[in-house]
């Protein structure tokens, strides 16, 4: 029987070889924010259901929602909404076949990141 020699090479794309690009990071972040918004929506639904159940149950849910943890989750959710919205607009632009060159795609990626932070701060200041 013939002997086979096992080749030592990393799997593609391996983190030692592949350098993440802004477009891949923003794509991954879009998926993460989408899933995080589901968790935030469930937390808000829990709070609303607790309000319709009883005063004691609502007190527990309201304590969680108004605590530092609840404030953090809701603030990050606000940022995730803006990020996901702007990333969706960028995706529509890409679907039109525009902005596909690397410099434009990177500018749009930074625009989504910076724009989501700015819109989150503006929203927090208006509330």
Q: Which structural domains are found in the chain, ordered by start?
A: 22-126 (1.20.1300.10)
Residue the block writes with tokens 């990177």: 106
DSSP string, 82-116: HHHHHHHHHHHHHHTT-S-SHHHHHHHHHHHHHHH
State the angle between helix axes of 22-53 and 68-95 in degrees (0 to 180), rounded to the nearest 10. Answer: 130
Q: Which residue, among 92, 91, 70, 84, has the nearest Cα to 33 in the 3D structure?
A: 84
Q: Reduced to 3 states, what is the DSSP secondary structure of residue 43?
A: helix
Dihedral pair phi/psi, residue 61, rounded to 5°: -65, -40
Give this prediction's pTM. 0.81
Q: Is 4 exposed, middle or buried (0-12, 13-18, 19+ CB in 10 A)?
A: exposed
User: What is the per-residue pLDDT across 70-98, written as a single tens digit (0 to 9) for each?
Assistant: 999 999 999 999 999 999 999 999 999 99
User: What is the per-residue pLDDT across 46-66, written as a single tens digit (0 to 9) for each?
Assistant: 999 999 999 999 999 999 999
pLDDT band at 14 (very low <50, low <70, confident <90, very high): low
Top-confidence residue, 94 or 17: 94
Q: What is the arithmetic mean of pLDDT over 22-42?
A: 92
């Amino acid at each position: 029987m013939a002997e086979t020699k096992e080749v030592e090479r990393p799997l593609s794309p391996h983190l030692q070889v592949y350098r993440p690009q802004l477009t891949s990071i923003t794509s991954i972040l879009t998926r993460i924010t989408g899933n995080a918004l589901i968790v935030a929506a469930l937390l808000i639904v829990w709070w609303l259901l607790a309000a319709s159940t009883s005063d004691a149950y609502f007190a527990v849910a309201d304590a969680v929602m108004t605590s530092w943890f609840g404030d953090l989750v809701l603030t990050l959710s606000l940022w995730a909404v803006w990020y996901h919205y702007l990333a969706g607009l960028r995706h529509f632009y890409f679907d039109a076949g525009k902005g596909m060159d690397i410099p434009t795609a990177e500018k749009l990626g930074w625009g989504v990141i910076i724009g989501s932070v700015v819109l989150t701060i503006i929203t927090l200041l208006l509330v």
